[in-house]
Amino acid sequence: MSEAMTSSSEALGAAVAVRAEGASVILGGRMLWSAVDLAVPTGSFVAVLGPNGVGKSTLVRALLGSIPLRTGRLTVLGRPPGAASHEIGYLPQRRSFEPGLRVRGIDIVRLGLDGDRWGMPLMGSSRVSRRARAAAERVAEVIELVGASSYARRPIGGLSGGEQQRLLIAQALVRRPRLMLLDEPLDSLDLPNQGAIAALLARISREHQVTVMMVAHDVNPILPYLDRVVYLAGGSAVEGSPREVITGATLSRLYSAAIEVLETSDGRLVVVGEPEAPHHHSARHDGQ
Amino acid sequence: MSPHLGWNPARDASQLLTYHFMLNALCAGTIVAVMAGVIGWWMVLRRQSFVGHTLAVVGFPGASGAVWLGLSATWGYFGFCVAAATVIAGLPGRPAMGGFSEESSVIGTVQALALASGFLFASLYGGFLNGTTALLFGSFLGVTNGQVWALLAVAVAALGALVAIGRPLLFASVDPYVAEARGVPVRALSFAFVILLGLAAAEASQITGTLLVFALLVMPAAAAQQLTVRLARSLWLSVVIAVLVTWLGLGVAYFSKYPAGFYITTFGFAAYLLAAASRMIAARSGRWGNVMPRTAASLPTAASRP
Ligand SMILES: Nc1ncnc2c1ncn2[C@@H]1O[C@H](COP(=O)(O)OP(=O)(O)OP(=O)(O)O)[C@@H](O)[C@H]1O
Ligand SMILES: [Mg+2]
């Protein structure tokens, strides 16, 4: 059903950063979603929307290569999932550090830069090695970018959820990724901060041709910045521009239920009639 | 021999070093302290103290069994600790951290069984009650040259391995999900670390005794992490505290009739108390107090989208 959307995004002429073809995933014996087709253009800012438990985080983890597909194919930055991990900045959902963790925010960000390299830095290496100095500068730069400089040197366990979240966004950004997969990065931020972070991500996406895929619960604070939306519901997904996807007709088709989308006078979208519980596909559909 | 503590430190030190056994004890203590200071630092960071303690307790039947069979206790410690580490590291646990961490009832059971069978082996050997105390609470008498070399070889190998995996291990320890997404082999690292912890527990047991390994594995690391949040600095500090505590403990034990394990533990505890107190004082005096209020306005705002 999303063929029309796929071809419309290819008509944009941009290369595709994330592609899914007939993808389906089974977790815990249950098919979460199936027949998912996506074509996310390079450099676009995309929100992944949908009710709780529909499989948004699972989609992100499938793109990272940590969950295998049941059927279909995923291509991430032109490669199979997991093969481009060094070019992806990932922020997992709702991760908070133990209150007692005595590691500074700046060290957490630094791990995003070179934490996967073998070996161990000895004390004071930034005074002798040019590479270590460049790394420290890059870390300071992204911390400044997300506005976390004033608390980056405090132990991360003692920071507020929103402060931790900003440092984690810095961590996902630090290696200049070509694709950012952010699972609810705006969680635990207040409304003005949600808008500010979304603006920041949109700017990075536009200036550096970084593709940003961001799972979100509320589309409204980020709506002005979005290029595209992936809406997961009813065991499948639709992709397109926000105005194409967040409509009564598209969502009704997706949920197989009567859905209405109202627009308030200030441009906010309100979805009415979403079924309470996520629509579960049972294992009976496996053969499809 | 009648060691006597005088007021001349140089004379006391030379008294200490006159005896070969004391020299061996100091060498062994230093090696063990360095290894325990480093690996204990990681253990505290990874919240795996319980695992460390279990591994040490499992060393007790290993050592007493080895003595019963006429082998050196050293091999008993290493053999049992590493075998137990292999089993524990393979247990399913927290998905990202690997190994168990919170299954306290299972572990408590294993610890009790280990202590009981250690005591059985000691009884089978017969007339070994002094030896049992030494295994449980530490002894520095009669450290042989061979034992010192064995401790050194194991420590060098373990620390070498740790330096090789240090950075990804740190990533996997504090941020396992992102590390995994980055291609860091989180489970394998966790497995490797528990093995290293088994080696460290076996080493520390030989100086402090099975029941007092925390004196070297936890206290210096915990004290160091209180004193500074800079990673490299607190790691070095942990080693320095462990070595100082060991030297002081062995030195004082030499001049006293009470066991070394007691003194090492007491000095370790004192170091921790001092560190915690100094952190509290630093917090009181507002080292973190001068933080500017943060608002959304401090963020660079993007121009509106076309
Ligand atoms: N490892 C797993 N094994 C079995 N079932 C799982 C596993 N992980 C997730 N699930 C199930 O898959 C479904 C989708 O989970 P997922 O985390 O992707 O949802 P989500 O859309 O991100 O929801 P939320 O908005 O609450 O974050 C849930 O019903 C969850 O219980
Ligand atoms: Mg989720």
> What would the pLDDT profile of B182-203 be if each residue is shown by its tens digit?
999 999 999 999 999 999 999 9
CB atoms inside a 10 Å sphere around CB A265: 5
CB-ligand 1 contact for A55 (6 Å cutoff): yes
For ligand 1, atom 8, name the residue with the nearest CA.
A27
| Cα-to-centroid distance, A271 and ligand 2 (Å) | 19
Residues 219-248 of A with CB under 8 A from B: 224-225
Nearest Cα neighbor of B36 from B176, B203, B268 is B203
CB-ligand 1 contact for A54 (6 Å cutoff): yes
| Shortest CA gap B234–chain A (Å) | 10
- pLDDT band at residue A283 using 50, 70 and 90 as cut-offs: very low
Contact criterion met (CB < 8 Å) for B174 and A163: no
Contact criterion met (CB < 8 Å) for A193 and B288: no
Question: Between A165 and B139, where is the model more confident?
Answer: A165
Structure tokens at A176: 């200049």
Average pLDDT over residues A154-180: 92
Contact criterion met (CB < 8 Å) for A90 and B182: yes
CA A131 to chain centroid, in Å, comes to 30
Contact criterion met (CB < 8 Å) for A197 and B299: yes
- What are the CA-CA distances from residue A70 to residues A7, A32, A49, A58, B223 (Å)? 24, 10, 22, 13, 50
Distance (Å, whole) CA B124 – CA A197: 69
For ligand 1, atom 13, name the residue with the nearest CA.
A53
- What are the CA-CA distances from residue B118 to residues B50, B51, B62, B114, B213 (Å)? 19, 18, 7, 6, 16
Write out the DSSP string of B103-154: -HHHHHHHHHHHHHHHHHHHHHH-S-HHHHHHHHH---TT--HHHHHHHHHH
With a cut of 50, list the residues of chain B below it in pLDDT: 1, 95-100, 288-306
- What's the pLDDT at B2? 52
- The pTM for the full model equals 0.86
Residues in chain B: 306
Q: Which range (A81-90, A195-204, A207-216, B280-289) has the least confidence?
A: B280-289
- pLDDT band at residue A285 using 50, 70 and 90 as cut-offs: very low
- What's the pLDDT at B300? 40
Domains and CATH numbers, chain A: 15-84+178-288 (3.40.50.300), 97-119+126-175 (no CATH)
- What's the pLDDT at B104? 66
Distance (Å, whole) CA B191 – CA B217: 19
At the second CATH level, the architecture of B24-304 is: Orthogonal Bundle (1.10)
Ligand 1 atom closest to A51 (CA)? 25
CB-ligand 1 contact for A28 (6 Å cutoff): yes
A112 touches chain B (CB under 8 A): yes
- What's the pLDDT at B299? 40
CB-ligand 1 contact for A279 (6 Å cutoff): no
Q: Indicate if the pLDDT at residue A58 is higher than 70.
A: yes
A107 touches chain B (CB under 8 A): yes
Distance (Å, whole) CA B246 – CA B72: 23
- Average pLDDT over chain A, rounded to whole? 85
- What's the pLDDT at A76? 95
Using a CB-CB distance cutoff of 8 angstroms, which residues of chain B are in contact with residue A118?
A: 164-165, 167-168
The angle subtended at Cα B178 by Cα B226 and Cα A198, nearest 5°, is: 100
- What's the pLDDT at B255? 86
Question: Between A275 and B237, where is the model more confident?
Answer: B237
B94 touches chain A (CB under 8 A): no
Write out the DSSP string of B213-260: THHHHTHHHHHHHHH---HHHHHHHHHHHHHHHHHHHHHHHHTSSS-H
Which residue is listed with tokens 């970018």? A145
| Shortest CA gap B42–chain A (Å) | 12
| Cα-to-centroid distance, A281 and ligand 1 (Å) | 13
Residue B274, CB-side half-sphere exposure with 13 Å CA sphere: 9
Chain A: residue whose CA lies nearest to B233 = A123
CB atoms inside a 10 Å sphere around CB B100: 21
- What's the pLDDT at B121? 85
Nearest Cα neighbor of A183 from A63, A88, A93, A66 is A93
Contact criterion met (CB < 8 Å) for A117 and B168: yes
- pLDDT band at residue A253 using 50, 70 and 90 as cut-offs: confident
- pLDDT band at residue A2 using 50, 70 and 90 as cut-offs: very low
Percent of chain B with pLDDT over 90: 45
| Shortest CA gap B50–chain A (Å) | 17
| Shortest CA gap B252–chain A (Å) | 33
Question: Between A15 and A259, where is the model more confident?
Answer: A15
Using a CB-CB distance cutoff of 8 angstroms, which residues of chain A are in contact with residue B286?
A: none
Q: Indicate if the pLDDT at residue A274 is higher than 70.
A: yes
CB-ligand 1 contact for A89 (6 Å cutoff): no
